[in-house]
A and B are shown apart, each in its own frame.
Chain A
Amino acid sequence: SAVISQKPSRDICQRGTSLTIQCQVDSQVTMMFWYRQQPGQSLTLIATANQGSEATYESGFVIDKFPISRPNLTFSTLTVSNMSPEDSSIYLCSVEHRDRVSYNEQFFGPGTRLTVL
C-alpha cells in the first residue's frame, strides 16, 4: 500500500478565507482523489485529480470553490475557497492501487480536519 501524508492535519479558519491542503504520496500514482467527510456522514467524492490536466469534479462541486492542482504523480493540493461554516469537515485524499489480482483498492491519507468559524 502507498504511504500518504496530508498537511495540515487540522486547522481553524475564519469565514471568507481560503485553505490549501497538501497531499503527498511516497510513490507515483496515476489516480488521486479528494473526499469530504462531514460529521457523522460517509465519504463524498469531491473530484479526481488528474496529472497534466484539469481535475474532474463530481456533481455539486465546482472548480472555483475547490481548485485542485496535480503537478506530478506524487503530489496534489486541494484549496477550499471563500470558506463558510458549512465547509467544516474532514478532507481526505486517496490514491488507487491495483493489487496482484487486479482489484483496485483505495488508500487514504490521514485527513485534514477543518473548522470554519
Chain B
Amino acid sequence: RKEVEQDPGPFNVPEGATVAFNCTYSNSASQSFFWYRQDCRKEPKLLMSVYSSGNEDGRFTAQLNRASQYISLLIRDSKLSDSATYLCVVNPGDSWGKFQFGAGTQVVVTP
C-alpha cells in the first residue's frame, strides 16, 4: 500500500461548479498535512496547510479526518485557472522534512 494515495482523475468540472476529492494516508501518527498545486511543467506550490480538523481559504476548503486517515480538498465556484494537478502531502512527523507525496489528482475545469 502506498503511503499517500490519491485518485488520479481527471476530474472534469464545469466552470462555476464544485469539485471535491480525497487523499488517504497510511501512517496514523502523521503530524501535518498539505495540499500543493502543480501546473503542467511547473514546480509544486503550496495551496493550503491543513490545520486540526480543517480550514478554509476563499473558495478552497480542506478537511482532515484523523479517524479515517484522509484529507479532502473542496473547490467551490471553479475557475478555468483552477485546472492543475493537486498533490496531497503528508509529514509523518518522525523526521524533519521527510514529506510523503501523493501522485496527484488532476482537475480540468471546462468552460
Contact residues, B71-111 vs A (CB, 8 A): 87, 89, 91, 96-99, 101-104
Determine how close the nearest CB of chain A comes to the CB of B54; give it in whole angstroms.
14
Assess the B43–A92 pair: CB atoms within 8 A: yes
* C-alpha gap A41/B4 in the complex (Å): 13
- Knowing A42-B104, A104-B91, the reply to whether A109 touches B43 (Cβ < 8 A) is yes
Assess the A104–B96 pair: CB atoms within 8 A: yes
Decide if B42 is an interface residue (CB 8 Å cutoff): yes
Assess the B32–A103 pair: CB atoms within 8 A: yes
* C-alpha gap A116/B62 in the complex (Å): 39
* C-alpha gap A11/B102 in the complex (Å): 27
B interface, over-half SS: loop
A interface, over-half SS: strand
Chain A interface size band reads 20 to 34
* C-alpha gap A104/B98 in the complex (Å): 11
- Knowing A41-B103, A101-B51, A103-B51, the reply to whether A108 touches B44 (Cβ < 8 A) is yes
Smallest Cβ-Cβ distance to B89: which chain A residue? A106
Assess the B49–A105 pair: CB atoms within 8 A: yes
Determine how close the nearest CB of chain A comes to the CB of B13; give it in whole angstroms.
21
Decide if A28 is an interface residue (CB 8 Å cutoff): no
* C-alpha gap A108/B32 in the complex (Å): 18
Residues of A within 8 A of B (CB): 1, 31, 33, 41-45, 48, 92, 96, 99, 101, 103-111, 113
